[in-house]
Amino acid sequence: MSIASIIKKLLLEQRLGKIGSDQYGPETLAVKNAIRKLAYRYRTPYVLGVLIAAITAKRMGISGTSVVEFGVARGEGLNELASISQVIQSTFGIKIDVYGFDWGASGLRETIDFRDHPEMWKPGTYCMESPNEMVENFRKRNVSLVIGDIHNTIKCLDKAPLPIGFVIVDVDYYNSTVPIMEWLLQTPSTNLLPAVPLYLDDTDSLFALSEYTGQKLAINEFNQRVEFRKIDKKSEKYRLYAVNCFDHTLRNTINPIRLDINHRNLIQLLDPKQF
């Protein structure tokens, strides 16, 4: 182990040592153990999303939750999501089902208009070289990789045994993001946790991205549709948002199960330079 890694580990233990025994309620020990195993090894927003979903599911007393990545390409992100989920599943003692959705060998589709940023994205890129082989390899990891037009394949999530607790959207285009937003809007609240972490990869990384194109436009249109579901930003750096399901039973109950998870504290544990 390098000196830098040793120092990181010591500083992490120092931060974890400052967590009170009840800061995250009965889940505090599981949170600390998961962060020990995941910090500096995996994508921070992925770790955050799965952690928040697991804490919520545990507090709700349900058997587990589902996490989803839209836009799998070569599979690096989905592999990380699967690894993170395995660690958190074991430390929290719950089940985490992992799903991935992609168009497959065709890669990015043709752009439709300026909202898809044709000046940035090239049709045919981010393609899967061997979709069938990837489906089988992920199946061995207990990951469901679904190939096909997301407009149609996303409907299978309505039958997911466990409610969706974390969603990753890395499909680049506005017109590819729309069906995901439509599903988040239309699916019954029982298919979702009360507040779902949402990672949007293409919102703030490039100067030409705007509120009137791409994924940000899809968010704005989502928020204009109804009052009972809204998306708001939680972390600028990590492009982390929350889908607030105000129609969920637990958000309309007196003295409900605690949903007050301090995501800023979790970020500070994983990345002290953020603040």
pLDDT of residue 1: 62
Kindly report the length of the chain: 275
Q: At what angle do helices 44-60 and 263-270 cross, to 10 degrees?
A: 140
Q: Tell me the residue type at 116.
A: D
Q: What is the pLDDT of residues 231-247, one digit of tens each?
A: 999 998 899 999 999 99
pLDDT (tens place) for every residue of the chain, 275 residues total: 677 666 677 777 777 877 776 677 888 889 889 998 998 899 999 999 999 999 999 999 999 999 999 999 999 999 999 999 999 999 999 999 999 999 988 888 888 898 988 888 888 888 888 999 999 999 999 999 999 999 999 999 999 999 999 999 999 889 999 999 999 999 999 999 999 999 998 777 678 788 899 899 999 999 999 999 999 999 988 999 999 999 999 999 886 777 788 888 888 888 766 43
- DSSP states of 103-163: --TT-S----SGGG-TTT--TT-S--S-HHHHHHHHHHTTEEEEES-HHHHGGGGGG-SS-
SS3 state at 98: strand
pLDDT of residue 254: 83
**Hunting for tokens 């349900």 — which residue is that?**
62
pLDDT of residue 274: 47
pLDDT of residue 275: 39
Determine the CATH number of domain 46-257. 3.40.50.150
pLDDT of residue 54: 97
Phi, psi of 250 (to 5 degrees): -70, -10
**Strand 195-200 to 229-235 pairing:** unpaired
Q: Tell me the residue type at 119.
A: E
What are the boundaries of each domain within the chain? Answer: 46-257
Closest CA to 99 of 174, 184, 161: 161
The rounded Cα 34 to chain-centroid distance in angstroms is 17
Phi, psi of 83 (to 5 degrees): -65, -45
Query: How many CB atoms within 10 Å of residue 29?
Result: 13
Closest CA to 186 of 154, 214, 160: 154
- Give the predicted TM-score (pTM) of the model: 0.92
